[in-house]
Structure 1
Amino acid sequence: MTNDERFAGKVALITGGTSGMGLAVARRLLAEGARVVVTGRDQGRLDAAAKGLDGAGPGADGRVLAVRADAGSLPDLDALMDTVRDRLGRLDVVFANAGTGTFGPAADITEADFDHSVNVNFKGVYFTIQKALPLLADDASIVINASWTLHRGLPIASLYSATKAAVQSLARTLAAELGPRGVRVNSVSPGYIDTPMFRGAVPADEVEGNRAQVASGRIGTPEEVAGAVAFLASADAAYVNGQDLIVDGGLVAAVA
């Protein structure tokens, strides 16, 4: 089976699929034959993403379903899963990607900051997976988007890092829980990736400093993360379970 057939006949859900890594994963799985469901909170951005994906390549048209949903809203998640059940019947892949970034010194983090980050980054991931469980095929794969910051301390990232550590722990425990069903659960931990969130969080004059920390000497691309997610979601990773795949150009493991 070639890469462009790995997901033929499969159904994949990508939360937060309107930009950045989520959109890149949707495009990659679509190119490899999947039917993809993408979610986002903003209807305009969701419509634009769906239109772009529909035109992503031969045969893509008709294999994209865009559903407006806030990952932190349980009623939205219930409605999302009802739509998937009614339209597609099952899920073979879940990429729990929707997330937010709140950065600042621990002394400055407010309760509102805390509640928002935990609501999206942890609660949203937890209940996305919980509510997808009845739809999962017996050989389904779940991939959670974590972060390199759970492996290495980063000043001003105490809240963000804690939520990402929580979902990486969730991947391990769910791998044990869902293993008897044949469902695999892994996570990816991207490093510095050139996404709208990265550009919004990092001032332009600090990007060079970030790049200099990376052993590979550059900022990563969403497409490189998409390749890692596609691997973990595919049968090529059939014996990979409960793992965290760091996609960071050597940021964590090597001294630049």
Structure 2
Amino acid sequence: MTPRVALVTGAGGGLGRAICRALADDGVTVVATDRTVELMDRLDDCRRVALDVTDAASVRAAADWVRGEVGRLDVLVNNAGIIGYFPVAEADPEDVIRHFQVNTFGALRTTHAFLDQLAATRGRVVNVTSESYRFRTPFQPYQSTKLALEGLSDVLRRELAPIGIGVTTVRPGAIETELFRAMASIGPPADGSRLAAPFARFARALERRPPKRVSAPEDVARVVLRAATDRRPRAHYEINNMLALRIAAVLPSRLADAAVARILR
């Protein structure tokens, strides 16, 4: 059964646009959201409204807009995300916290704000996480933010099931989007960094060993569509996940740490 109305966060990015179009092509009324309406200028077939997932007032205003202008919500797709590469220990903690605000707590804010509307339709929340949550490498908070989102999704799925709201995650591997291309433009850390040398080796390792398989946004969007519309949705959907990451995730910490240390030496 195809839901009637879906809201997508982070709709101005490559994956967000693809998700909006996949849903719209399936007959869903799509509310595309991002920090500004201008970021979504290529989504003329969608309703568009500004929504900053880090701003509780902005999220509440968008929820009020959907209630007043659209009248219902069947699916919430939490897709907004950012990525950055830098020494986490030396960065301003607020910069690290911002990644959690967008990638993790943004999904919590939107779920909370739209809860009444989702309860009314016995709707569904789809959280876009990442296969990288399995193994946290140094110099990026992204993987930890997705690990936290996986945990929150489990909590919400079990908590909201009794009132008929489903919660599922989509775990893509590498996607050809702006986030993936950020790997090619990693700058040096701040002057005087104690970690400049290992960070440089980390950046060179990423450059030498890019992912061999990279999904098109449209392919991931089709998986999100399944997660949004399957009659009996799975708890987790995966696309283009790497066997190497699965293996690394179950290694004893001592061996995993040693493998990372070899890269940074």
TM-score by length of 2: 0.79
2:38 aligns with 44
Letter in 1 for 2:33: T
| Superposed CA offset, 1:75-120 (max 9, x none) | 1001100110011111111101111112223333321212211221
Matches within 5 A, 1:1-20: 6-7=1-2, 10-20=4-14
1:84 aligns with 66
1:60 aligns with none
Residues 207, 231 of structure 1: CA spacing in aligned structure 2 closer, same or farther, 3 A cutoff? Answer: farther
CA contact (8 A) 2:168 2:233 kept: no
CA contact (8 A) 2:134 2:246 kept: no
1:151 to 2:134 alignment: yes
Residue 90 of structure 2, aligned match among 68, 88, 108: 108
Letter in 1 for 2:116: P
Residues 203, 11 of structure 1: CA spacing in aligned structure 2 closer, same or farther, 3 A cutoff? Answer: same
Letter in 2 for 1:84: V
Residue 140 of structure 1, aligned match among 123, 126, 137: 123
Residues 208, 66 of structure 1: CA spacing in aligned structure 2 closer, same or farther, 3 A cutoff? Answer: farther
Distance 2:174 2:121 in 1: 34
Find the structure with the greater CA-based Rg: 2
RMSD over aligned Cα atoms = 2.2
Q: CA deviation at 1:211?
A: 2.7
% same residue: 30
Q: CA deviation at 1:126?
A: 0.6
CA contact (8 A) 1:220 1:249 kept: no
Q: Any stretches of 5+ residues in structure 1 without a counterpart?
A: 1-5, 55-63, 213-217
Residue 220 of structure 2, aligned match among 212, 219, 225: 225
Q: CA deviation at 1:73?
A: 0.5
Q: CA deviation at 1:203?
A: 4.0
1:172 to 2:167 alignment: no
Distance 1:176 1:138 in 2: 18
1:245 to 2:227 alignment: no
Residue 235 of structure 1, aligned match among 217, 230, 234: 230
1:71 aligns with 53
TM-score by length of 1: 0.81
Distance 1:133 1:162 in 2: 26
2:209 aligns with 209
Residues 21, 152 of structure 1: CA spacing in aligned structure 2 closer, same or farther, 3 A cutoff? Answer: same
Distance 2:150 2:184 in 1: 24
CA contact (8 A) 2:123 2:164 kept: yes
SS in 1 for 2:101: helix
Q: CA deviation at 1:180?
A: 1.2
Q: CA deviation at 1:194?
A: 0.3
